[in-house]
Amino acid sequence: MGAQIIDGKAISSAIRQQIKQQVMELQQKTGKSPGLAVVLVGEDPASQIYVRNKEKACQEVGIYSEVYRLPQETSQQQLLDLVHQLNERQEINGILVQLPLPDHLDEMTVLRDISPDKDVDGFHAVNAGKLLNGEKGFVPCTPKGIITLIKSTNVDIKGKDAVVVGRSNIVGKPVSILLLNENATVTICHSKTADLKSHTQRADILVVATGKPNLITGDMVKPGSVVIDVGTTRVEGKLTGDVHFASAKEVAGWITPVPGGVGPMTITMLLQNTVEAAVSQWK
């Protein structure tokens, strides 16, 4: 008996259908479409693919989008000027600056200058603070997608031991807070954690976001647990997760595949956040 597969692709596609419907209704009611601006600086190949996918996803659900592809040598001031212009534009409801930025640009400064009302990535300190306080704000897309996937299993998060491996600002930290807000007992593990296995073996819900391919093997997984694999590293041309799928699948109750698990959910949550931004700005 293997684990049930959590089909992120199918769940994502069903949510996108709902978003498409919602966008159509908004257009009928207001005569306007939600608008997203995506800013990409430099030539990072993975970022170029992500940005193209975001543009395509917007088109598919009827969200208006603008993509700014800026050269590698863009200055901090040029980037900030663009962000300030986008903050002022009525037809732009959401702004996303693709990360990572080239080394000479300061990510924190750029993110801080995006209007928190248009921060559909949820990376602004105001939205991070709201998440911590349990107030309504924009929730980062990958963590939001992860919670949606866990809920799709109908496993009750409340009271469960949740272990998050990874402490990035984009995934590990925010998903830990979301799980805590759902009343899980949360442990955050990272590269300096002593005896990682002793923690993961107790996890009813295990979220792994380290970028270390196959870090978690079946012997580290609790029988019957929900395993969410956020890793996507190319190994010998093949997209590989942080969880060794073949061995973990034999032990877990539910597991996300790579690809086709968390990945498709991230852009779907971005579309959801963009519609949310438009609805609250049009009030």
- Which position among 40, 96, 101, 226 is part of the footprint of ligand GUN (CB under 6 A)? 96
Residue 280 marked ligand-binding: no
CB atoms within 10 A of CB 80: 17
Least separation in angstroms between residue 105's CB and ligand GUN is 13
Does the footprint of ligand GUN cover residue 121 (CB under 6 A)? yes
CA distance 209 to 178: 15
User: Is 52 part of any known ligand binding site?
Assistant: no
Beta-strand relationship, 238-240 and 233-235: antiparallel
Q: Is 141 in the site for ligand GUN (CB under 6 A)?
A: yes
Nearer to ligand GUN, 99 or 155 (CB): 99
**From the list 98, 176, 210, 225, which residue makes contact with ligand GUN (rule: CB under 6 A)?**
98
DSSP SS3 for 23: helix
In the stretch 152-181, what mask flags binding to ligand GUN with x, by CB under 6 A?
------------------x-----------
* Catalytically active residues, by annotation: 54, 98, 121
Largest pairwise CA distance in the chain? 57
For residues 269 and 13, give the distance between their C-alpha atoms in angstroms, rounded to a whole number: 11
By CB under 6 A, tell whether 70 contacts ligand GUN: no
Assess 101 for contact with ligand GUN (CB under 6 A).
Answer: no
Inter-residue contact 233 to 213 (CB < 8 Å): yes
Binding of residue 230 to ligand GUN (CB under 6 A): no
And the tokens for 224? 């019957």
Q: Does 57 bind ligand GUN (CB under 6 A)?
A: no
CB 270 within 8 A of CB 237: no
CA distance 151 to 219: 25
Q: Which of 127, 142, 272, 273 binds ligand GUN (CB under 6 A)?
A: 142
- 38 contact partners, CB below 8 Å, separation of at least 6: 51, 54, 55, 65, 66, 67, 68, 96, 98
In whole angstroms, the minimum distance from the beta carbon of 122 to ligand GUN comes to: 9
Q: Is 167 annotated as a binding residue?
A: yes
Q: Which residues bind ligand GUN (CB under 6 A)?
A: 96-99, 121, 141-142, 170, 266
Would you list which residues are annotated within the binding site for NADP(+)?
A: 166-168, 232
